Amino acid sequence: MGGRKLYYLLEQDLRQQGIKLGRDALFSLLAAHNLLIRKRRRKALTTFSRHRFRKYPNLIRDLTPLRPNQVWVADITYWFTQAGCLYISLLTDAYSRRIMGFAVADTLATVHARRALEMALRQISKRAGSQLIHHSDRGIQYCSQEYLDTLAPFHIQVSMTENSDPLENAIAERVNGILKQEYLSQQPVYSLREAEQHLEQAVFLYNYKRPHLSCDMQSPNQAHASWGPLERRWKNYYKPSTPVSAE
């Protein structure tokens, strides 16, 4: 868990105990004990979009979800471990940021993305599925007939990115980073079985314990019981550039 979320969870207890410790002081304390999360820079290719299967249009470009199970976002991300490079398939609710389905494997075969999808589908009715959009990149796993046939009985609409811009699937990319940087990167993993156990624990902590800035500092599981706009607590540190006058 990141330092800002940790401070949010500890702030009230610190005050009750009469301990004066601000956010910056907490960061300094964590740094002094080598407890700050380090970002990893290695990358692996997980998307192959030059295939013969049909690609679908982006249905969520200007859409802001206002309820759970309105939009699910799917992605596959790499995980470098002592057992080699593994691949995590995730399906996340775009409204609550709750991870609905997950799977880890040592290959990029479609069956593993489908496993994550089947886990998510077990949590909704077919009626709910008919009001749901499934959004992903144009990777061969999501375009395959095997995957689409799993979506079909629920009448879920299919949406896909239209270029290689990660902002077209920004929520999925963000959840990938949170899981790996805050929960998985520090875990030694020597087998696929260990990876499955660590991933299951990470998803539980993320869904039930971690306050989310995009969900009014609720956990994703709490936000999943909500309805309507959720206050965003994060700040945009990127200021828009000032237009240059033509005069």
139 and 17 within one domain: no
19 and 131 within one domain: no
Is residue 207 a contact partner of residue 220, using CB atoms and an 8 Å limit? yes
Does a structural domain hold residue 49?
Answer: no
**DSSP codes of every residue in 208-225:** HT--BGGGTTB-HHHHTT
Please give the Cα distance from 231 to 217 (Å, whole number): 8
Residue 229 tokens read as 């706009």
pLDDT band per the 50, 70, 90 thresholds, residue 46: low
Q: 219: closest CA among 173, 190, 186, 178?
A: 178
* pLDDT of res. 244: 39
pLDDT band per the 50, 70, 90 thresholds, residue 2: low
167 and 84 within one domain: yes
Does the pTM surpass 0.85? The reply is no
97 and 13 within one domain: no
Does a structural domain hold residue 112?
Answer: yes
Does a structural domain hold residue 91?
Answer: yes
Domain span including residue 26: 3-32
Averaged pLDDT for residues 76-88: 96
Does a structural domain hold residue 147?
Answer: yes
Averaged pLDDT for residues 207-222: 95
Distances (CA, A) of 45 to 73, 77, 86, 96, 104: 19, 9, 11, 28, 16
75 and 25 within one domain: no
Is residue 247 scored above 90 in pLDDT? Answer: no
156 and 102 within one domain: yes
92 and 20 within one domain: no
Does a structural domain hold residue 132?
Answer: yes
Does a structural domain hold residue 45?
Answer: no
**Long-range contact pairs involving 18-24 (C-beta distance under 8 Å, separation at least 24):** none
8 and 85 within one domain: no
Query: What CATH number should be reported for the domain holding residue 155?
Result: 3.30.420.10
Does a structural domain hold residue 152?
Answer: yes
* pLDDT of res. 239: 47
- What are the b/e assignments for 214-233, b being 16+ CB within 10 Å? bbebbbbbbbbebeeebeee
102 and 19 within one domain: no
77 and 28 within one domain: no
Does a structural domain hold residue 89?
Answer: yes
108 and 22 within one domain: no
- Domain count within the chain: 2
Residue 78 tokens read as 């790499």
What percent of the chain lies above the pLDDT cut of 90?
Answer: 67
